[in-house]
Amino acid sequence: MKRSIFAPLMWLSLSIILVCAFVMGIVHTVLLDRYIISTKTNALLQSARRISELTLMLSRNYGPQLENFYVFNLDLIAQSSQSFIIITDKNGKIINYSTHTRKYITTDSLSLKGFESVMEGDETAKIGPYNSIFGEKTFTVAVPVQTGGKVYGAVFLNSPVPDVYKDRHTLFTMLAVSILISSLLAFILSFFMSKGITKPIRALGRAAHDIARGNYKRRVEISNIAELAELGAAFNTMAESVENHEKVRTAFIGNVSHDLRTPMTTISGFIEGILDGTVPKERQDEYLTIVLNETKRLSRLVSTFLDISKYEENKVELKKTSFDIIEMIRVVILSFQSRTEAKKVGVNFEFEGESAFVHADENEIYRVIMNLMDNAVKFVEPEGKIDISVVTDGAKTRISVGNTGEGIAESDSPYVWDRFYKADKSRTEAGNGTGLGLFIVKSIINQHGEEIILDNKPNYTKFTFTLPTVK
């Protein structure tokens, strides 16, 4: 069973959210620990410095009242900082402590291991040196009691680690709730974003099925996501192309049916007339000539269809020679004389000289000029004009065939080179033709490595192609 893209997108989004939340939690925890330790250290050091100053003051001006003031401040600082205070001399002998520290004092001295630098005048903070004294993990800061650069002792403030981190639990709970809410909101947003991505993709799938079922007018809405918008635009372009090709195919079947049925009907009718005696013997040759012409017409039509694959696959073998393109045009014009005279069309020539030699496949180029001339005669209005020009420009010779009359519609211009494509049938002579003429023309010119362009104006249409000049 095939899975929807929606589930992987959601799992991916959820994974990213969880990973980000986990990393953010770790980073915040580390930063929070550092902040709490730093804050607690600074607070205890400040208190220790204050006690150090009071200790020096008492040693200089000893008196009962000052001692009471000293003990009162000692207990007050111990309570506010939630710490156990011990004051020692330089050798570690305990000389004073806060009231609630008394129950932990079992000896008259304190080990100075790890705090040697304090007795040299430095301030130190450590976790764990006096755990055994207080029966729990303890954070200790030590500040020297000194004056004039001489150290007389040290002040130790010991704070139980659980008390140091008690605010962390509150902050961590708030952080966890914030991350949970943010993750939930991110999940909801991811859900709708995933829906927003999969919805246009599903719409593309439904549209493709509709087109496969024959609804060639089906289009999709363009998404506001750049990549999906590009995909939607490409799909609509493809759908439009499919619709146009289907129209061309339908029209082609109708045209071919008409082109095949008309001569077949003529041939069948005349043969039956000859066989059943309806056609007099003295007119049988005349009718047989018509039958022969219709047969040749059918042969040409079938040959044209057979040539399509060769031109599509560029399998036409070119036999290039040098020939006079102007002479070829004259021959072509003579073959259209009856049709141009019937429409009272004027044919204008623009030649730079009596001859212009080019290097190409003579038979294929003859077919190009015949098709372009047939196109011009077909679409020129009665009493209009057809212009034919041959201009040599260095290594290239430009051949143009243009005609007056209703131009090709702007919407038809991109498709005139497509096989079987026919513009508005009201512009043609009784809507005949297979829509292969310009396709064959462009295929032949492309095989020669040359180019052909359409110059389309409201009341004038001109085709120009190039061929190599023979000097």
Do 325 and 307 share a structural domain?
Answer: no
Strands 346-351 and 385-393: parallel
Do 453 and 425 share a structural domain?
Answer: yes
How much of the chain, in percent, has pLDDT values that exceed 70? 88
User: Using H for helix, E for strand and C for coil, what is the string for 161-196?
Assistant: HHHHCHHHHHHHHHHHHHHHHHHHHHHHHHHHHHHH
Do 141 and 25 share a structural domain?
Answer: yes
Q: Distance of CA 14 to CAs 19, 21, 183, 205, 467, Å?
A: 9, 10, 9, 26, 65
Q: Check if the beta carbon of residue 255 is closer than 8 Å to that of residue 435.
A: yes
Reference 109, options 92, 131, 134; nearest CA is 92
Do 460 and 369 share a structural domain?
Answer: yes
Q: In whole angstroms, what is the distance from residue 231 CA to residue 210 CA? A: 17
Q: What is the pLDDT of residue 93?
A: 94
Strands 84-89 and 138-147: unpaired
Indicate the burial class of 139 (C-beta count within 10 angstroms; 0-12, 13-18, 19 or more). buried
Q: Tell me which residue has tokens 């069973």.
A: 1
Q: In whole angstroms, what is the distance from residue 444 CA to residue 466 CA? A: 12
Contacts 24+ apart (CB under 8 A), 9-18: 9/190, 9/194, 9/197, 9/198, 10/190, 10/191, 10/194, 13/186, 13/187, 13/190, 13/191, 13/193, 13/194, 14/187, 14/190, 17/183, 17/186, 17/187, 17/190, 18/183
Burial 106-119 (b: 16+ CB within 10 A, else e): eeeebebeebeebb
> CATH number, domain at 111?
3.30.450.20
Q: Model confidence over 232-258: pLDDT tens digits?
A: 888 888 888 888 777 767 766 766 676
- Report CA 88 to chain centroid distance, whole Å: 74
Cβ neighbours around 366 below 10 Å, total: 17
DSSP class of residue 469?
Answer: B
Instruction: Give 145's strand partners.
Output: 153
Give the global pTM.
0.47
Instruction: Give 151's strand partners.
Output: 146
Among residues 168, 193, 228, the one where a domain terminates is 168
Do 438 and 393 share a structural domain?
Answer: yes
Burial 178-212 (b: 16+ CB within 10 A, else e): ebeeebeebeeebeeebeebbebeebbeebeebbe
* Strand residues in 6-127 grouped as ranges (E): 84-89, 94-97, 124-127
Q: Check if the beta carbon of residue 462 is closer than 8 Å to that of residue 413.
A: no
241 occurs within a structural domain: no
182 occurs within a structural domain: no
Q: Check if the beta carbon of residue 203 is closer than 8 Å to that of residue 220.
A: yes
Among residues 292, 312, 332, the one where a domain terminates is 312
142 occurs within a structural domain: yes
DSSP class of residue 436?
Answer: -
Which residues of the chain fall below pLDDT 50?
Answer: 1, 425-431
Do 398 and 286 share a structural domain?
Answer: no
111 occurs within a structural domain: yes
Which amino acid, one-letter code, is at 217?
K
Do 286 and 324 share a structural domain?
Answer: no
Both tokens of residue 37? 């330790």
> CATH number, domain at 347?
3.30.565.10
231 occurs within a structural domain: no
Which amino acid, one-letter code, is at 335?
S
Q: Model confidence over 189-218: pLDDT tens digits?
A: 777 777 777 777 788 888 888 888 888 888
For residue 429, what are the contacts with CB-CB under 8 A and spacing of at least 6? 378
- Structural domain containing residue 390: 320-468
Q: Model confidence over 409-418: pLDDT tens digits?
A: 777 777 787 7
Q: What is the pLDDT of residue 326?
A: 94
Do 267 and 133 share a structural domain?
Answer: no
61 occurs within a structural domain: yes
88 occurs within a structural domain: yes
Structural domain count, the chain:
3
Indicate the burial class of 163 (C-beta count within 10 angstroms; 0-12, 13-18, 19 or more). middle
Tallying the residues shown for the chain, one arrives at: 471
Q: In whole angstroms, what is the distance from residue 420 CA to residue 344 CA? A: 29
Q: Check if the beta carbon of residue 139 is closer than 8 Å to that of residue 125.
A: yes
Residue-wise DSSP of 304-352: HHHHHHHHHTT-----EEEEEHHHHHHHHHHHTHHHHHHTT-EEEEEES
Q: Check if the beta carbon of residue 349 is closer than 8 Å to that of residue 388.
A: yes
Q: What is the pLDDT of residue 2?
A: 54
Among residues 268, 293, 312, the one where a domain terminates is 312
Q: Model confidence over 365-419: pLDDT tens digits?
A: 998 999 899 989 999 999 999 999 999 988 999 999 999 988 787 777 777 877 6
- In angstroms and rounded to an integer, the radius of gyration of the C-alpha atoms of the chain is 51
Do 271 and 164 share a structural domain?
Answer: no
397 phi, psi to nearest 5 deg = -115, 125
